[in-house]
């Protein structure tokens, strides 16, 4: 969990960073459908749930690009983490609230899945927003809205936003032309991430979904 400080004076993104943090502060979201037909079939064959696989794929993609790993630690030190840790929501059916848990990540899906199952076994019935103690500073946030197959989703930040970590939200599967599509919204800060990088996020995510039999 190493944090690499950025020398802003020598940073190629310096004019963009300054513009989108001081002149026109700007976050934005992009929502695309990802084809998860093969992934769902492969998970079903193995008796595995979708959500931990979704968290795994998203975290792998986030960890592949420095734009998604950039943050303050602490402010005003700007830099990027060697890797990020997923913090994800889960739903309480009895009172319709949610809680957040973080799980130590591993590129090995089986190892990550075991850690996920251990965390859910311990915390699934614990109420509150953040229920697992000592979240590391390199966490980022993942959630799902499985009741709606949305075409757009945006979190409206108030009182200024200098949190550069991405936020990823999945929706409800929708069948289209024999394919199972999952709407996914990516929210990022324009100071550290442009539309090009957001587009690569979805391309990389689709590649992982298509190659699921190589990592499941």
**CA distance linking residue 136 with residue 5, whole number of Å:** 17
Q: Which of 204, 209, 74, 89 is nearest to 142 (CA)?
A: 89
Q: Which of 187, 173, 186, 177 is nearest to 36 (CA)?
A: 173
Residues 6+ apart with CB under 8 A from 83: 1, 63, 69, 105, 138
Q: What is the mean predicted confidence (pLDDT) over 164-182?
A: 97
**CA distance linking residue 117 with residue 115, whole number of Å:** 5
**DSSP type of residue 116:** H
High-pLDDT (> 70) share of the chain, %: 99
Two tokens at 37?
Answer: 């037909």
| Catalytic choice (19, 24, 190, 197) | 190
Domains of the chain: 22-70+82-169+193-212 (3.30.559.10)
Does residue 171 have a pLDDT over 70? Answer: yes
Single pTM value for the model: 0.97
**CA distance linking residue 174 with residue 171, whole number of Å:** 9
Q: What is the mean pLDDT of the chain?
A: 96
* 138-168 residue pLDDT tens: 999 999 999 999 999 998 876 667 899 999 9
Active site residue 190: yes
Does residue 49 have a pLDDT over 90? Answer: yes
**CA distance linking residue 203 with residue 147, whole number of Å:** 25
Q: What is the mean predicted confidence (pLDDT) over 81-103?
A: 98
3-state secondary structure of 140: strand
Instruction: Give me the pLDDT at residue 159, please.
Output: 61
Q: Are strands 27-35 and 70-72 parallel, antiparallel or unpaired?
A: unpaired
């Amino acid at each position: 969990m190493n944090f690499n400080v950025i020398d802003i004076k020598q940073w190629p993104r310096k004019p963009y960073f300054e513009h989108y943090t001081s002149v026109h502060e700007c976050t934005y979201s992009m929502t695309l459908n990802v084809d998860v037909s093969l992934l769902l079939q492969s998970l079903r064959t193995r008796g595995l749930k979708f959500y931990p696989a979704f968290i795994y794929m998203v975290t792998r993609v986030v960890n592949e690009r420095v734009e998604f790993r950039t943050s303050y630690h602490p402010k005003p030190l700007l830099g990027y983490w060697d890797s990020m840790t997923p913090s994800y929501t889960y739903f309480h059916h009895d009172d319709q609230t949610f809680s957040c848990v973080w799980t130590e990540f591993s590129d090995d899906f089986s190892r990550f899945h075991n850690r996920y199952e251990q965390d859910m076994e311990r915390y699934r019935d614990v109420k509150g927003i953040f229920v697992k103690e000592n979240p590391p500073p390199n966490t980022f946030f993942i959630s799902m809205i499985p009741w709606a197959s949305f075409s757009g989703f945006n979190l409206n930040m108030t009182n200024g936003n200098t949190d550069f970590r991405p936020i990823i939200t999945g929706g409800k599967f929708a069948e289209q032309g024999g394919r199972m599509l999952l709407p996914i919204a990516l929210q990022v800060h324009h100071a550290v991430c442009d539309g090009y990088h957001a587009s690569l996020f979805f391309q990389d995510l689709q590649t992982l979904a298509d190659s699921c039999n190589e990592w499941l």
